[in-house]
Structure 1
Amino acid sequence: DAGGRLRRRGRGGERGGGEREGEEEEGEREDRQSNSGLSPPLQSYFVSDYDPTIEDSYTKICTVDGIPARLDILDTAGQEEFGAMREQYMRAGHGFLLVFAINDRQSFNEVGKLFTQILRVKDRDDFPIVLVGNKADLETQRQVPRSEASTFSASHHVAYFEASAKLRLNVDEAFEQLVRAVRKYQEQELPPSPPSAPRKKDGGCPCVLL
C-alpha cells in the first residue's frame, strides 16, 4: 500500500458532513475513487498506521472554478483479493485518482495495471484519471523517479501531482483537477442542447467520481 491517510477526528457525521439537502441540488454531484493510499481532502489529519483493507466513503460540498460540486468519495482497498469488487466500483465511477507512494516501487507498478483495467471496464480509450505520487515528504526514500512518473502520465494523457497527505501538499489540487477532468469529459459526451432549450448555468449535471 502507499500508506498514510488523512482522517477526520471521529466518525460522526462523515457521510454528508452536515450539509443541507439543498446543497446537493445546487451543485454537481461527483463521486471519486482513490487507489493505493491517498485519502480525501476532507479528512483533517494524518494517520500512518491504518488498515488498507477497510473502505471509507465520504461526502463533501466544495467549489471548483466557481462551480459547486458534491463529492462522494470512495477510498477503496487495494488488495488483489478485492479485484471483483474493484471492478464494480470502476463501472460506477465517473473519475479516478490513481495513487502510488514515491517510496514504494510496487505501488507504482500497480498503477499501470489499474489504468488498463479502468479503460477495459469502461470500454473507453480514455477516461477522467489523475495520477498522484503520494508521500512526497519522503524524498530521501524515493524509489520512483519523478521523471518516470511524469513520462507515464504524459504517455497516458493524464495529469500528475506529487503530493503529501502528511504535509497536505497537492491533495486538494489533485482532487480539483479530477473534478475538472470529469466536467470536461461529460461536456464532450453530452449531446448538444437544442436551441429552444439552452443549458441552465445554475445547476450542473450530476456525475460520479470514484
Structure 2
Amino acid sequence: MANAPLKRKIVILGSPSVGKTSITQQYVTPPTYNDQYYPTIESTSNKIVVHKGVQYDCEIVDTAGQDEFSLFPPKYAVGVHGYVLVYSITSKQSFDMIVSLHEKILDQGGLDKVPCVIVGQKTDLEKERRVTRAEGEALAKKLGAAFLESSAKDNKNVDRAFEALLGEMQREYNPAPAPAKKGWWPWS
C-alpha cells in the first residue's frame, strides 16, 4: 500500500499587489495569469506534488496583502509548515516589509527558524526595478531563507519557488537519516 502524501500548509505573505495571488494561481493551475488586479481577501488552494521522491499534499493559503502596521493573525503561524514571502522588485517598500513579516512569523510561532523562501516577484518589469537581485540574496541569507526572483506573468521560476520551499521544509521536517556506521567501532 502506498504511503499517504505528507500534508504541508504553506502561507503566502507580502504587501498588497506584489503578485501573491498570481504566483499561487500559476503554481496551482498553470497557465493562469490575469493582468487585472482584484485584491484577495484570503483563499486556499490544494496541490499534490512529488518532491525528491516524497509526495506532498500542499494546502496553500493566499493571504490578503499585509501592510507594515496590520496585525499578523495567529492563524498564519499555527500549523504552518513554510512560508513564501513575496515582494515586488519594483517596490522598495514591499521589500523592506519582508523583515517585519519574518519577525512576526517567528514571534507568533515562538520559533528561532522557519522554512521559507523569499521571492522577488515581477521580473517582467525589469525596467522599473527598485530592488537589486543582490539585495534580495543578502536579505535571504540574513534570514536563513531560500531566494529567487520570478515573474508570474511570464510563468518564470514560479514552480521553482515552491520547489525551493518544499526543499526547505523537507530539510526541517523529514531530514535524511544519518548514514549507518559500518561497524561497532567509533572509527569504522
State TM-score, norm by structure 1: 0.73
Residue 167 of structure 1, CA deviation: 0.9
| Preserved contact between residue 13 and residue 66 of structure 2 (Cα < 8 Å) | no
Q: Whole-Å Cα distance in 1 between the matches of residues 172 and 49 of structure 2?
A: 19
- How does 1:42-191 map onto structure 2 within 5 Å? 42-44=28-30, 45-80=32-67, 83-85=71-73, 87-187=74-174
CA pair 187-62 structure 1, distance change in 2 beyond 3 A: closer
What 5-or-longer segments of structure 2 have no aligned partner? 179-188
Aligned partner letter, 1:159:
A
Aligned equivalent of 2:12, options 24, 31, 34: 34
What 5-or-longer segments of structure 1 have no aligned partner? 1-21, 193-210
Sequence identity (%): 31
Aligned partner letter, 1:171:
V
* CA deviation map 1:84-131 (0-9, x unaligned): 53x322223110000000011111111110011111111121110110
Q: CA RMSD in A?
A: 2.1
Residues paired across the two proteins, number: 166
Partner residue in 1 for 2:184: none
* CA deviation map 1:22-78 (0-9, x unaligned): 99x621111211113333201331112232242111011111112111011000012
Where relative contact order (Cα < 8 A, 6+ residues apart) is larger, the structure is 1
Q: Whole-Å Cα distance in 2 between the matches of residues 43 and 116 of structure 1?
A: 31
